[in-house]
Chains A and B, each alone.
Chain A
Amino acid sequence: MEEYREEELVLPADPMVLNMGPSHPAMHGTVRCVLRLDGEQVVECDVQIGYLHRGFEKECEAGTWTQAFPYTDRLNYASPLLNNVGYALAVEKLLGITTPPRCQYLRVILGETARICDHCVCNAAMAMEIGAMTVFLYLVKAREWLFELLEEMTGARVTHSFCRIGGLRHDLPEGFGDRLRAALVKTREAVEDSEKLLLRNRIFMDRTMDVGTISPERALAYGWTGPCLRSTGVAYDVRKTHPYLVYDQLEFDVPVGSRGDNYDRFMVRLEEIRQSMRIIDQALRQLPDGPIAVPDDLGVVLPDRFATYTTIERTIQHFKIVTEGIRVPPGEVYAYTEAANGELGFYIVSTGGGRPHKCRVRPPCFANLQALPELVRGRLLPDIIPTFGSINMIGGECDR
C-alpha cells in the first residue's frame, strides 16, 4: 500500500464561477454578481452594476430645469416623491428662494408617505427572498393603499412628477388628510401582522442575525448613509443633522441598530415606518393654509391661468418659462436630502441659461452597494440574498 498524506486525499477543486444576474429573481433592478464559489461558500463576489444606466445626468442637460422632474421619478422608483423633493430643493437653493410653509408641509407629508412605501417594499422583498411569501403580500398590500392615495393626489401610481421648482403641481384634494390617516392605521396593522410572522421567528432570526455584519467605521468608510448606516449604530439622519423643509419643527426619533447586520437593517426600516407615520400625523395637524407655490412675479412657477389669458406680461412670462425654461443664476450648488435609502444629493451647475449645465446625482445605494462583496465574502450563497435585499439597491438610482 502506498502511503498517502492527509492533504493529498483532498480532491483538487477549482472555485466554481456562477453568474448571479443580471436576470436573477433576487437581483431586482438588474445587477450582476459574478461569484466564485467553493461549494456553497462565497470566495469572491464581484458586483457589476450599470445594466440600468440610462444617462440620467446627460439627459437632464437636454431639457429645461423643470423637465428633469420626470427623470428624477425614475431614479429610486420605489419612492419617486422623495427624489422630486430632493431635486426641487437643489434648484431652489441655487435660485435662493424658499417655498411657502404649506408647500413645505405638503412635501414632508408626501415624502414621508413615499418613504413608508419604500421601506415596506424593501422589507417585503427581503422577506420574500428568504421564503416568507405571505409577509411580502401583506406589506405590498399596505403599500397599495398608500399608492391609491398618491395616485389620487398626483394622478400617477409611480411616476408622480408632482413637485415643481418653487412649489407643487396642485393642492390636496378634499378630505385627503382623513383618508391618509385611515390608510396609515391600516398600514400599521399590516406592518404589525408581518412583524408577528417574522420578528420572533427562529428561522428568520437565524437567517438574518449576524449575517452581513459591518462595523460603523467600515460603513462610514464606504460612505454608507440612511437606514443601512443607522443599523450600525450611527445616528446620522439628514432630517435631524441638517434639517430641511420643516423637519426641525416636527418631532420624531432616529432609530439605530447595534450590530449592523441584516436583522438590524430590517428592524430600522420597520421602526422608520412608524416614525414616518408620526411625522405625517404631526404635519397634517400643523398644516397651515396659504399658497402652495412661490408668487408668480419671481418667474419661477407658471403664472396663474386667468392672468396668463388676460395680461400680456403674464402671457410672455408663461411662454418664456415653457420654451426657454426658468432662468437660474450662474453658480453651483450641492443639496442633499434624506431619501429612503440614505443621503440623496444633487450637485447642479448653472451657467445662467434655462437648462442645467450639469446635474450630478449622489445616489445613496451606490455607496451602500459597494460594501456587498465585503459583507458576503466567506459566507454561504444563500446569505447573499437577504444581505443584498437589506442594502436595498435600486437599479434606477444606482445606475442612473
Chain B
Amino acid sequence: MTTFFVTMTAIKIVAFVLFLLGGGALMVWVERRMSAMMQDRIGPQRANLGPFRLWGLIHIVADGLKMMVKEDFVPRRADRLLHALAPILAFFPVVVTFAVVPFGPTLDFAHLGAVNHNGPLFSGPWATTLQVAAVDVGLLFVLAIAGTGVVGAVLAGAASDNRFSLLGSLRAASQMISYEVTLGASLVGCILVFGTLRIEEMVLWQHQHLWGLLVQPLAFLLFLVAGIAESKRVPFDLPEGESEIVAGYFLEYSGMKFAMFFLGELMEIVVLAILLTVFFLGGWDVPFLFADGLHVDLPLLDAWVWHWPHWVVVLVQLLGFTVKVAGMVFLQMALRWTLPRFRYDQLMDLGWKVLLPLSLGNIAVTAVVLTALR
C-alpha cells in the first residue's frame, strides 16, 4: 500500500462525495427547470445575488440555507432516536453505492502525454483506476447496499407516530422488497454475458465487445423499471403519494432531516443513471475510441487510426460517461413528469406477475443462448 495509492484513494473519495452532493443539489435545479420546460412554465429563477440569477441556480443555495435554519420538528410521541437515525440510514446507501462504480479507465500519471498502448485497464507505479474501490463482488455489493435503502424508509414511518407515515412505510417496505427481486434478477443475465461480477471488468467487456443494451435489451428495461421503483418516484411514488398519504414516510420531517430524504431521492436518480450507464451503456466506453486513440473501422471505408495522448483519451471517456449519465437522468425526469401513479395492488401485480417472470425468462434464454454459442 503505497503513499500514492492512499493519497489517490483519499482524493477520489473526496472528489466523488463532492460530485455526488453537487450532483444531488444540481438535480433539484434540473428537476425544476425540466418540469417547467415540459409544462410550458419558466420555473423558479428569481433568487439572485445582486444582478446575477444564473438561470435559477441560486435557488439551490437559498434552499440549502432555508433547510439549515428551519426548525427541526419531532412529533411529541415519536421515537427520537429512530426518528433521527432514519434519514441517515436512507441517505447512506445512495452514497456508498458510488464507491464501486468506475467512472473511467486507468489513469497513468507517469505517461499523461504519451500514447497508451497498455489497454484501458493496467497497473503501474503511477497508475490509478478511476474508481474508489475495485471490489471482487462489485455487482453484489451494489445490490446488497441497495437492499438496505428500505430500512431508512421503514424506520422513518414507524418512528414518526403518524398514521399516514405508517401507511407510507408499509408501502415502502413491500414495494422496495418486491422490486429488489427484479432488480437483482434482471442483472443475472448481464453477469452471465459478461462473465464477471467486477464492475470494471463488465465495462471492459462492453468496451471490447458490445454494449449491454444490445446484448441484454430486456434486462435494460427491467432494470430501469425496477430501479425507478426503488428510487420511489412517479409512477412508483406510492410511499410518498402526496395526494393520498400526504408525504408518506417523511411526513413528519423538516429542516435538514427532510433535506436528507429529499436529496437522497434526487441522488438516487443519479445513482440509477450511473448504474444503467455502467451495466448497459458501456460505462466510460466511447464508440471507436480505444486506449491509444481513435480507430475508425467501418465496412466500405478504409480503416484509419488517429493516435491521441493518454490524457485526452481519458478525458473524452470521462465526458462520454457524463453525457450518458445525463441522458439517463433526462429519461427518468421525462418519465416522472409524464406518467400518473400506480395503485398499490397494481404495483404488486406488475412486480410479481410481469417483471419477475420476464426477468427469470431472460435469465433462462440468456443461459441457453450462451451455452449454444459456446
Residues of A within 8 A of B (CB): 16, 18, 24-26, 40, 127-134, 137-138, 141, 197-198, 201, 203-204, 206-207, 380-385
- Of B191-199, B281-289, B321-329, B332-340, which stretch is located at the interface? B332-340
CB distance from B130 to the nearest CB of A (A): 38
Query: Do B241 and A382 touch across chains, with their CB atoms under 8 A apart?
Result: yes
Query: Do A129 and B243 touch across chains, with their CB atoms under 8 A apart?
Result: yes
> What A residues does B241 contact at CB under 8 A?
131, 382
A385 CA to B339 CA in the complex, in Å? 17
Could you jot down 7 A-B contacts, CB within 8 Å? A18-B167, A26-B243, A129-B243, A129-B244, A134-B38, A137-B40, A380-B345
CB distance from A263 to the nearest CB of B (A): 12
> What A residues does B41 contact at CB under 8 A?
137
Quick one: given A18-B163, A141-B40, A380-B345, are A26 and B35 in contact (CB under 8 Å)? no
CB distance from A388 to the nearest CB of B (A): 10
Residue B237 interfacial (CB < 8 Å): yes
**Ordered nearest first, which 10 A-B pairs have the shortest CB separation?**
A131-B341, A129-B243, A137-B39, A130-B340, A132-B340, A131-B340, A26-B243, A382-B343, A382-B244, A203-B340
B336-361 residues at the A interface, CB under 8 angstroms: 337-346
Quick one: given A132-B340, A134-B338, A206-B346, are A381 and B246 in contact (CB under 8 Å)? no
A interface SS class: helix
- Give the number of residue pairs across the A-B interface with Cβ within 8 Å: 81
Residues of B within 8 A of A (CB): 35, 38-41, 163-164, 167, 234-235, 237-238, 241-246, 337-346
CB distance from B269 to the nearest CB of A (A): 17
Quick one: given A16-B163, A40-B344, A206-B346, are A132 and B246 in contact (CB under 8 Å)? no
Query: Do A138 and B343 touch across chains, with their CB atoms under 8 A apart?
Result: no
Across the two chains, which residue of chain A brings its CB closest to B235?
A: A203
> What B residues does A380 contact at CB under 8 A?
343-345
Quick one: given A24-B246, A129-B243, are A134 and B163 in contact (CB under 8 Å)? no
A203 CA to B237 CA in the complex, in Å? 13
A381 CA to B246 CA in the complex, in Å? 12
> What A residues does B163 contact at CB under 8 A?
16, 18
A179 CA to B244 CA in the complex, in Å? 39
Partner of A203, one of B164, B167, B245, B342: B342
CB distance from A238 to the nearest CB of B (A): 32
Interface centre among B237, B337, B343, B344 (most CB of A within 10 A): B343
> What B residues does A16 contact at CB under 8 A?
163
> What B residues does A207 contact at CB under 8 A?
340-343, 346
> What B residues does A204 contact at CB under 8 A?
340
Query: Do B245 and A381 touch across chains, with their CB atoms under 8 A apart?
Result: yes
Across the two chains, which residue of chain B brings its CB closest to A206?
A: B346
Quick one: given A26-B244, A381-B244, A382-B244, are A133 and B35 in contact (CB under 8 Å)? yes
